[in-house]
């Protein structure tokens, strides 16, 4: 498969534990943020999004936290499973049109 | 099934040859995008199109060209002017230019020999 995460920061998590993936964004004017999951050799898949007027949003087993003061975004995955092993990207909407700026990504490895 | 298709999944070309990557969507999305992904890096925007017959350069457009003659299709040509074309190329689409969520295709891995 495609190895897109050779030199990425890696988070090793034991199966069943919670994962926290962090992202620092660059533009204080960004008003929308997305987390994507990318499995080896595949295109990114949408996980969850959050608008800048919120500081927390929950989905199924995932929670996104937004701290605009320090321009920090995090993704929490509850009860991490082997299928959660992937590269996770944060993206911010940087203009009114909708252009997304992607972070470098974090490789999550789930161990049994 | 609605979605975005990219073909082929793997593509090999000799140095100095132009190559065109296909991207088709049946989601009725107005906006389409091309990204390049290299190991250890995030996605970098090559070109985007908000509407048929219109497109704009992204952050790394040099050595690439696109066309948008149909709403469903946004082919990317990697020209011989692109100095380091070997990469994973991703196509995406969204409802309209201001709608942030982008849906991605499976990608094409281009290797230039």
pLDDT single digits (tens) B20-68? 999 999 999 999 999 999 987 889 999 999 999 999 999 999 999 999 9
Give residue B4's pLDDT: 96
Residue A87 touches chain B, beta carbons under 8 Å = no
Cβ distance A2 to B94 less than 8 Å, yes or no, reads no
Any idea of the CA torsion for B47, B40, A48, B9, to the nearest 10 degrees?
Answer: 60
Cβ distance A41 to B42 less than 8 Å, yes or no, reads no
Q: What is the DSSP string of A4-62?
A: --TTS-EEEEETTS-EEEEEE-S-TT--EEEEEEE-TTS--EEEEEEETT-SEEE-SSE
Percent of residues, chain A, with pLDDT higher than 70: 94
pLDDT single digits (tens) A57-77? 999 999 999 999 999 999 999
pLDDT of residue B109 exceeding 50, the answer is yes
Considering only residues A95 and A83, tell me which one the structure prediction assigns the higher pLDDT: A83
What is the rounded CA–CA span in Å between residue B77 and residue A87?
A: 27
Query: By the 8 A CB rule, do A27 and A94 touch?
Result: yes
Write out chain A residues lying below 8 Å of B50, CB-based. 97
Beta-carbon contacts of residue A13 (< 8 Å; ≥ 6 apart): A19, A80, A84, A108, A109, A110, A111
Confidence class for position A45, pLDDT limits 50, 70, 90: very high
* Among B97, B101, B105, residue whose Cα is nearest residue B26: B105
Here the contacts of A60-65 (C-beta below 8 Å, separation 24 or greater) are A62/A35, A64/A33, A64/A35
What is the rounded CA–CA span in Å between residue A20 and residue B21?
A: 36
Nearest to B41 among A34, A93, A104 (CB): A104
Beta-carbon contacts of residue A2 (< 8 Å; ≥ 6 apart): A40, A41, A42, B88, B107, B109
Give residue A1's pLDDT: 35
Q: What is the mean pLDDT of chain B?
A: 92
Write out chain A residues lying below 8 Å of B93, CB-based. none
Give residue A7's pLDDT: 59
Average pLDDT rounded to a whole number, residues A73-90: 96
First CA to last CA across chain A, in angstroms? Answer: 21
Average pLDDT rounded to a whole number, residues A49-61: 95
Q: What is the mean pLDDT of chain A?
A: 90
Nearest to A8 among B6, B40, B43 (CB): B40
Q: Give the residue carrying structure tokens 């500081």.
A: A55
pLDDT of residue A3 exceeding 60, the answer is no
pLDDT of residue A5 exceeding 80, the answer is no
pLDDT single digits (tens) B2-15? 699 999 999 999 99
Average pLDDT rounded to a whole number, residues A74-87: 97
Q: Give the residue carrying structure tokens 């107005």.
A: B30
Q: Identify the helix (H) or strand (E) that includes residue B109.
A: strand B108-112
Cβ distance A100 to B100 less than 8 Å, yes or no, reads yes
Cβ distance A42 to B94 less than 8 Å, yes or no, reads no
Cβ distance A98 to B45 less than 8 Å, yes or no, reads no
Beta-carbon contacts of residue A61 (< 8 Å; ≥ 6 apart): A77, A78, A79
What is the rounded CA–CA span in Å between residue B32 and residue A22?
A: 28
Q: Which one-letter DSSP state was computed for residue B56?
A: E
């Amino acid at each position: 498969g495609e190895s897109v995460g050779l030199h990425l920061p890696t988070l090793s998590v034991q199966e069943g534990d919670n994962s926290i993936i962090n992202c620092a964004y660059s533009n204080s004017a960004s008003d929308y943020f997305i987390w994507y999951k990318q499995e080896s050799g595949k295109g990114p898949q949408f996980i969850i999004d959050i608008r800048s007027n919120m500081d927390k949003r929950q989905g199924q087993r995932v929670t996104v936290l937004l701290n605009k003061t320090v321009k920090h975004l995090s993704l929490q995955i509850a009860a991490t499973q082997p299928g959660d092993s992937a590269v996770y990207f944060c993206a911010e909407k940087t203009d009114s049109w909708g252009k997304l700026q992607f972070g470098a990504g974090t490789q999550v490895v789930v161990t049994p | 099934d609605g979605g975005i298709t990219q073909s082929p999944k793997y593509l090999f070309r000799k140095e100095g040859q132009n190559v065109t990557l296909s991207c088709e969507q049946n989601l009725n999305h107005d906006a389409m995008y091309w990204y390049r992904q290299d190991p250890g890096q995030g996605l970098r925007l090559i070109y985007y199109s908000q509407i048929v017959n219109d497109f704009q350069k992204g952050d790394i457009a040099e050595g690439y060209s696109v066309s948008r003659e149909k709403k469903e299709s946004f082919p990317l040509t990697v020209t011989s002017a692109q100095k380091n074309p070997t990469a994973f190329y991703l196509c995406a689409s969204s409802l309209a230019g201001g709608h942030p969520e982008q849906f991605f295709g499976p990608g094409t891995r281009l290797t230039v020999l």
